[in-house]
Amino acid sequence: MATMNISLPEQMRDWVLERTEGGEYANNSDYVRDLIRKDKQRAERLEVLQAAITKGVKSGEPKEFDKETFIRHMKNK
């Protein structure tokens, strides 16, 4: 495993210590790895959402939605 040294303001350092001393994480590295994992997952979800938005924007002009026709269509499937 690679090593990385980081500098934190005292308030952030204290927060990390609270999380690890409270038993939620085994150590400081475990906490930081969890934060990075969660940030990566968030970025991946945003990428999927942005791709869907882009696809929608490029799909052309919106068409009128008829709820009854949609319901009939779904029941026939």
Give the pTM: 0.71
> Residue 1: its pLDDT value, please?
86
pLDDT band of residue 49 (cuts 50, 70, 90) is very high
For the chain, percent helix, then strand, then coil, each to nearest 5? 70, 0, 30
Torsion sign across C-alpha atoms 65, 68, 74, 77: negative
Domain locations in the chain?
Answer: 10-59
Query: Is the Cβ–Cβ distance between 20 and 30 less than 8 Å?
Result: yes
**Confidence bin at 63 (pLDDT 50/70/90):** confident
